[in-house]
Amino acid sequence: MNTTETGAVETARPKAPLIYNPKVRGIAYQAALCALVAFLVWSAIDNAAENLARAKIATGFDFWNHTAGFDISQTPIEYSATSTYGRAFWVGLINTLLVAGIGIVLATVLGFIIGIARLSKNWLVARMAGFYVEIIRNLPLLLQLLFWYNAVLKALPSVRESLAIPGGGFLNNRGLFLPKPDFLPGSSAALIALALGIVAAIAFRIWARRRQYRTGQQAPVFWVTFGLVVGLPLIVLALSGFPIRFIYPESGRFNIRGGIEVLPEFMALLFGLVIYTAAFIAEVVRAGILSVVKGQTEAAYSLGLRPGPALRLVVVPQAMRVIVPPLTSQYLNLTKNSSLAVAIGYPDLVQIFAGTVLNQTGQAVEVIVITMAVYLTISLVTSGLMNIYNRSVALVER
């Protein structure tokens, strides 16, 4: 029965030619589109290579190991004019990551403070925070960077009239100079104490939390942590006779040498990025907090929580679900905006690599491709990490 039935159906419906089959057609269209895109990409590369060859412009990545010949003002890793272009690339990359990393941390802290302040019941505090957000986010970042750079240069004294910072530091328009700790042999005991202190502090926190769940009793977590992480290494240091020497900055004929040097370009860029991005983060935070229904706050108050703990324990954890995705965008913006460093002479990746190296080698295609790939990688890693964090704070549906 079955066979005759199906057989009858098959004969009843005439076999359509393959080109009228919607599935086959769909696949054919997509294959054609892919082939076209592949052809365009291949032609573009081929055409560019042909043009470069005809103009006898050097191609390839040989330049990576050639001597750079120029100096860089901020070198977190060993670098001199005799180093290679490749080394210069790493210097630029680390400088970019340095300003972006510190900038993200500071912008988050400042952004949360401003965002929460804007919702404050104190009229003056709320208005000041609103004023800050509206002024800062409505001015172009480049303008702000130039403002901060000129402010840093103009407001700070010249080298000869350096402000002395208690403890052996100096501040002037060439930068901030701080004593640099030099760890002598014997200081390892203190480092071990620091590591032990951190481990012990984490263990104590876990124990304190468990006890609180069980009995409702709170432990002085902050002071114990502080004692373990700061106090313990200090005691060990004192016992071993302070085996740390400080290298103090000294003034030379023109400049201050030695110690830790923070460039005014770095300070201006960090200031500008943090203040600008914090305004956006503040709005993200405000939106997140407002998204938590008022009943949650009221419930927390009715349980007897004071406003501080109510915000910290009830409102913010729920607000994080709304805050994290746009916060990621702000982190990416800050990282990419750090390339405006070029305007104020901070040696970041764009200034060194897409600037001087490109100019000297003339290999625009290679250098720009590498630079774009680096920013893409940084951005993808940042959003990857934020997505992992987002998953941990997202609403778990059961």
Tell the smallest beta-carbon distance from residue 136 to other proteins (Å): 23
Site size with other proteins, rule: CB under 8 A: 48
Q: Could you tell me where the beta strands, DSSP code E, fall in the chain?
A: 163-165, 169-172, 175-178, 180-183, 244-247, 250-251, 256-257, 260-262
User: Binding residue for other proteins (CB under 8 A) from 355, 383, 390, 393?
Assistant: 355
76 binds other proteins (CB under 8 A): no
Tell the smallest beta-carbon distance from residue 132 to other proteins (Å): 27
Q: Cα–Cα distances in Å, from 323 out to 129, 277, 293?
A: 18, 14, 15
In degrees, to the nearest 5, what angle opens at C-alpha 374 toward C-alphas 324 and 40? 105
User: Binding residue for other proteins (CB under 8 A) from 358, 370, 374, 378?
Assistant: 358
Identity of the residue, 70 or 389, whose beta carbon is nearer to other proteins in the bound complex: 70
Identity of the residue, 229 or 343, whose beta carbon is nearer to other proteins in the bound complex: 343
Identity of the residue, 21 or 158, whose beta carbon is nearer to other proteins in the bound complex: 158
Tell the smallest beta-carbon distance from residue 72 to other proteins (Å): 7
Site for other proteins in 135-164 (CB under 8 A): 150, 153-154, 158-159
Is the Cβ–Cβ distance between 341 and 318 less than 8 Å?
Answer: no
Using CA atoms, how far apart are residues 320 and 325, in angstroms rounded to an integer? 9
81 binds other proteins (CB under 8 A): yes
Site for other proteins in 277-316 (CB under 8 A): none
Tell me which DSSP letter residue 122 carries: S
Is the Cβ–Cβ distance between 187 and 243 less than 8 Å?
Answer: yes
Using CA atoms, how far apart are residues 209 and 221, in angstroms rounded to an integer? 9
Using CA atoms, how far apart are residues 295 and 121, in angstroms rounded to an integer? 17
User: Binding residue for other proteins (CB under 8 A) from 173, 379, 382, 383?
Assistant: 173
- Pick the closest to residue 296 from 288, 281, 284, 394 (CA basis): 288
Q: Could you tell me where the beta strands, DSSP code E, fall in 266-367?
A: none
User: Binding residue for other proteins (CB under 8 A) from 93, 351, 374, 378?
Assistant: 351
Q: Which stretch binds other proteins (CB under 8 A): 181-189, 236-244, 351-359, 381-389?
A: 351-359
Identity of the residue, 261 or 283, whose beta carbon is nearer to other proteins in the bound complex: 261
Tell the smallest beta-carbon distance from residue 246 to other proteins (Å): 21
Contact pattern for other proteins over residues 32 through 71, marking x by CB under 8 A: --------x--xx--xx--xx-xxxxx----------xxx
Beta-carbon contacts of residue 94 (< 8 Å; ≥ 6 apart): 76, 77
Q: Which stretch binds other proteins (CB under 8 A): 99-107, 292-300, 316-324, 360-368?
A: 360-368
- Pick the closest to residue 249 from 170, 174, 175, 183 (CA basis): 170
Beta-carbon contacts of residue 46 (< 8 Å; ≥ 6 apart): none
Tell the smallest beta-carbon distance from residue 140 to other proteins (Å): 17
The structure tokens listed for 341 are 């460093």
Site for other proteins in 246-265 (CB under 8 A): 252-255, 257, 264-265
Identity of the residue, 10 or 250, whose beta carbon is nearer to other proteins in the bound complex: 250
Tell the smallest beta-carbon distance from residue 38 to other proteins (Å): 14
| Interior/surface letters 279-295, b for 16+ CB within 10 angstroms, e for the rest | bbbbbbbbebbeebeee
First to last CA, the chain: 49
Tell the smallest beta-carbon distance from residue 88 to other proteins (Å): 12
* Binding region for other proteins (CB under 8 A): 40, 43-44, 47-48, 51-52, 54-58, 69-73, 81-82, 150, 153-154, 158-159, 173-174, 252-255, 257, 264-265, 342-345, 347, 351, 355-356, 358-362, 364-365
